[in-house]
Structure 1
Amino acid sequence: MKMKFLKNIGYILLIFTGIGVQLQAQTDVKLSNFIYAPLVYNPAYAGSSNGYSANAFYTSQWVGFDGAPETLIITGHDKIEFFNLGVGFDIMSDNIGATKENRVVGNVAYHIRLDKNWSLSTGIKFGVNNYAIDYSLFSIEDQVEFNANGNLSKLSPIFGTGFFLHTENFFAGVSVPNFLITNFIEDFSQTISSTTPNYFITTGYKIELKSEVYIQPTVMVRITKGAPYSALVSFNLNWKDKFYASANYEHNVTAGAFVGLRITDQIMAGYAYDTSINSFAQYNGGIHSFMISYRAKERFRRDSCGCFTY
């Protein structure tokens, strides 16, 4: 009986996470291994590595919980040297219970060399987001009272911006991936959910322990109206550009680790596991993330940016 009650509570939490009535429920996805996906959060990162690269991520959260979040992300970027422009894209598909969110976003960044060590870039994001709810996946006792008819599906624009400052060993960024507010309204003029801007601050410093061996402490802070701020801290190891590892921690939320291996000079694959460190930990099997990265062998310069990770 107790387990059934707890499971029902879990369903309620999922519903309010995905479609919460009159809540600012939607938010930008936060990856514990965010350092391997900087373009998702900051468009100004596009072109920072002076060579084209692409990455794919799959994340399954709260394993063992019905309707738990699943996220697929694909990103890629390159630099057009003649115009000092970086261009890139990020595509995301996010499923939470009865809700689905799909977005396609373009990124453009302009790079300025401040001096021989410091570089600054500014960028914009622009794209489209589709948010959908399938009411057939709910067990609703009174359909009329709930006003749930068919499915909800709505397209909305995305527009964001960011700044990115870096040297060979240091980086800092400030960004808002989408500052447009969209209300998702169903057929009976009730607000199901609404977007709210997320403000991200990221920074990190690369320390060379010995030749070709680096450790990089990084921090990502997220500030959202109506929610407590969060800070994710990670320590990342790059061993001779062949083996990668990291440990991350977010106070009273999650702790986890990542390991990655360079299979060829152009391809790297990795796996991350995170566990809840609050009372919810006993009801889920943690978070599993897989990634694969491709980079251009002939153009990639590792020393161009302190944000280098793949």
Structure 2
Amino acid sequence: MMNLLKNITLLFVMSLGFYSQAQTDVKLSNFVFAPLMYNPAYAGSSDGYSATGFYTSQWVGFDGAPETLIVTGHDRIGITNLGAGFDILSDRIGASTENRVVGNIAYHLRLSQNWLLSTGIKLGGTNYSIDYNLLSIEDQNEFGNGFGDISRTSFIFGTGVFLHRDNFFVGLSIPNFLTTEYIDEFRNTLANTTPNYFLTTGYRFELEREVYLQPTVLARVANGAPYSALVSFNLDYKDKIYASANYEHNVTAGAFVGLRITDQIMAGYAYDTSIATFAQYNGGIHSFMINFRAKERYRRDRCGCFTY
């Protein structure tokens, strides 16, 4: 019994370090490349189809360390004022896995010659599961039954607004209004999901012709969790080389570098390190990104932010 408790306690402690991502909404350090993850109103905010993929690995060196795969894409629907997009997430930590598929739709309204406002909704589903067979349980009959994979599914419904012009943007969003509690057959609470409230904003400075610096902020408020704000400084050098540095107080610091291989394809790598006491025990966070955009998206004439 003591070994069982030790294993459950270890899983619980590991989950705490990743809880803000696994059971709420993922917060990427290079979030400027995945705005649709946080705000459905971003869908179709610039001309031309775009898709981005991310792979993130945390706590390198730990067995069962968190791994996250994200794919997101969006486009304007014809010549209408509607935009549509999707975001897909697969998140694994130890014996637990979360898979999420979400659709996004937005309506865009021109307020003036320079300002545009959009509103959007998210609708989809998520599946959360735990495979007890992956846990080191000394006595498999302790609970009277054999263990296996326990799976629970729930809906996602969110909304957001997005205001922007040629050099500034601000967005407010709740990616999921719904509160869900996942419970196993033994009435144990496996995980909870609660609404997260996001504010994103950024301003683009032109340092010289086709060279831009854009400070951005991603702030999050969630019930039962401390307020957090991730600040990022992003450099776009002639749409060929990208670089950024980010910082979240008492949480992480990191950097990103990206290269546009062709007009349609850009790839990048980010590394973030914990700046809390736990930093000496983990190997940091490694993220790989690849982006594809349609040729007409090069104009980027609708949104002042870095549009991906």
TM-score range, shorter chain: over 0.9
Partner SS state of residue 187, structure 1 = coil
Cα deviations across residues 237-282 of structure 1 (Å, max 9, x unaligned)? 0000000000000001100000000000010000000011111111
CA distance in 2, matches of 1:147, 1:248: 48
Does 292-301 or 258-267 show the bigger shift?
292-301
The alignment status of 1:50 with 2:47, answered yes or no, reads yes
Cα deviations across residues 201-255 of structure 1 (Å, max 9, x unaligned)? 0000000001000000000001110010100000000000000000000001100
Equivalent residue number for residue 133 of structure 1: 130
Alignment of 1:91-240 (within 5 A): 91-141=88-138, 143=140, 144=142, 149-240=147-238
Amino acid aligned to 1:87 = A
Does 218-227 or 134-143 show the bigger shift?
134-143
The answer as to whether partners of 1:52 and 1:300 remain within 8 angstroms in 2 is no
Amino acid aligned to 1:38 = P
Amino acid aligned to 2:224 = G
CA distance in 2, matches of 1:189, 1:285: 35
The answer as to whether partners of 1:169 and 1:207 remain within 8 angstroms in 2 is yes
Equivalent residue number for residue 14 of structure 2: 14
Equivalent residue number for residue 3 of structure 1: none
Equivalent residue number for residue 244 of structure 1: 242
Alignment counterpart, residue 284 of structure 1, candidates 279, 282, 285: 282
- Once the 2 structures are TM-superposed, how far is the Cα of residue 25 of structure 1 from its aligned partner? 7.2
The answer as to whether partners of 2:22 and 2:98 remain within 8 angstroms in 1 is no
Cα deviations across residues 30-85 of structure 1 (Å, max 9, x unaligned)? 10000000001100000001211000000001111121110000011000243200
- Once the 2 structures are TM-superposed, how far is the Cα of residue 149 of structure 1 from its aligned partner? 3.2
The answer as to whether partners of 1:24 and 1:195 remain within 8 angstroms in 2 is no
TM-score by length of 2: 0.92
Equivalent residue number for residue 3 of structure 2: none
Cα deviations across residues 141-165 of structure 1 (Å, max 9, x unaligned)? 4553598832210111111100000
* 1:79–1:146 CA distance, 2 compared to 1 (3 A): farther
Alignment counterpart, residue 275 of structure 1, candidates 273, 276, 281: 273
TM-score by length of 1: 0.92
CA distance in 1, matches of 2:91, 2:269: 19
Partner SS state of residue 73, structure 2 = strand
Amino acid aligned to 1:57 = F
Partner SS state of residue 298, structure 1 = helix
Alignment of 1:255-266 (within 5 A): 255-266=253-264
Number of aligned pairs?
301
Equivalent residue number for residue 79 of structure 1: 76
Equivalent residue number for residue 57 of structure 2: 60
Contiguous gaps of at least 5 residues in structure 1: 1-6
Contiguous gaps of at least 5 residues in structure 2: 1-6
CA distance in 1, matches of 2:236, 2:151: 43
Percent sequence identity over matched residues? 71
Amino acid aligned to 1:175 = S
The alignment status of 1:294 with 2:292, answered yes or no, reads yes
CA distance in 2, matches of 1:8, 1:183: 19
* 1:153–1:211 CA distance, 2 compared to 1 (3 A): same
CA distance in 1, matches of 2:87, 2:219: 21
CA distance in 2, matches of 1:249, 1:31: 12
CA distance in 2, matches of 1:238, 1:287: 23
Partner SS state of residue 189, structure 1 = coil
Partner SS state of residue 226, structure 2 = coil
* 1:289–1:48 CA distance, 2 compared to 1 (3 A): same
* 1:253–1:78 CA distance, 2 compared to 1 (3 A): same
CA distance in 2, matches of 1:18, 1:187: 24
* 1:188–1:209 CA distance, 2 compared to 1 (3 A): same
The answer as to whether partners of 1:25 and 1:195 remain within 8 angstroms in 2 is no
The answer as to whether partners of 1:25 and 1:193 remain within 8 angstroms in 2 is no
Partner SS state of residue 176, structure 2 = coil
CA distance in 2, matches of 1:111, 1:128: 25
- Once the 2 structures are TM-superposed, how far is the Cα of residue 190 of structure 1 from its aligned partner? 2.9
The answer as to whether partners of 1:18 and 1:97 remain within 8 angstroms in 2 is no
